[in-house]
Amino acid sequence: MKIMSGNGNLPLARAVAAYLELPLTEAAVRRFADEEVFVEIHENVRGEDVFIVQSTSFPTNDNLMELLICIDALRRASARRITAVIPYFGYARQDRKPGPRTPISAKLVANLITTAGADRVLAVDLHAGQIQGFFDIPTDNLFAAPTMAADIQTRYGGEPLMVVSPDVGGVVRARALAKRLDNAPLAIVDKRRDRPGQSEVMNIIGEVKDRMCILIDDIIDSGGTLCNAAQALMDAGAKGVAAYITHGVLSGGAVARVGNSALKELVITDSILPTEATRECSRIRVLTIAPLIGEAMRRIADESSVSSLFD
């Protein structure tokens, strides 16, 4: 078993390697003068079970190309099995046609990864479950919910909790977290989205008065939806609002927006490498998912059950 990493999230790859007590494979992933990606593996990987840890976050296209070229380099070096470990799967939000003459980019990216030579994929909290079906190779979708639930119990276990979904589409995710929190009650924020990146909160479905509300979602990008939802919950009498989001994309002015919001704190995972602004924001805290990913990789290598991680 060998672990390789691109430049997408090197600290996470190192943390995963440390959990598994293995060194990262010696490799050079660099750029030519014209920004073309060049990969050179400095170890023998013939017949090895190789895992490539690479988030396809910003700069998405560069990190995606690194992943594809790493896969191709390993395939040509006769690796026995190549697993693409993608903590954050870019283009996942384009998983269907919202209108005429639009692409399904998530399917295109799945095709690229498969054609490059990956034998299986390991991802964390895919934006939509059907993306697993876009791949013609085995795909494991890990959930950050157990890690989040443990943190919530530690910090807010003594308070009356209410798990809140920021939209109707996230109810299944919210219900799964609520079940882990001793069947905490569930509320839903009903909102109207006029155009991508902007939303208007309409009303709260559920009684949140005097409760500590836990907003749960998979991605925070501009932060508008989340901040509006937090304000609506406070207006409805919530005791406080904390948000637990798997992937902290946090583009544009999102960090400043969170800092000035009604949120008590925003908790994200390290599936995406946090920016300096994110690390410096006092209201944003980062949970590591390295043990989760590392344990899943160990089980894949041992041919044992991955789904039992979430029982």
Q: Residue 213: helix, strand or coil by DSSP?
A: strand
Is 221 one of the annotated binding-site residues? yes
Distance (Å, rounded) from C-alpha 43 to C-alpha 26? 6
Is 94 one of the annotated binding-site residues? yes
3-state secondary structure labels for all residues of 104-123: CHHHHHHHHHHHHCCCEEEE
Residues assigned a catalytic role: 191
Residue 201 bridge partners (DSSP): 191
Is 46 one of the annotated binding-site residues? no
Is 217 one of the annotated binding-site residues? yes
Distance (Å, rounded) from C-alpha 245 to C-alpha 215? 8
Is 154 one of the annotated binding-site residues? no
Is 222 one of the annotated binding-site residues? yes
Give residue 155's identity as a one-letter amino acid code: R
The answer for residues whose C-beta is within 8 angstroms of residue 138's C-beta and 6 or more apart is 119, 120, 121
Is 194 one of the annotated binding-site residues? no
Is 167 one of the annotated binding-site residues? yes
User: Are the C-beta atoms of 13 and 19 separated by less than 8 Å?
Assistant: no
Distance (Å, rounded) from C-alpha 240 to C-alpha 29? 45
Give residue 250's identity as a one-letter amino acid code: L
Please state the residue numbers annotated as binding site for D-ribose 5-phosphate: 193, 217, 221-225
Please state the residue numbers annotated as binding site for Mg(2+): 127, 167
Please state the residue numbers annotated as binding site: 34-36, 93-94, 127, 167, 193, 217, 221-225
Please state the residue numbers annotated as binding site for ATP: 34-36, 93-94
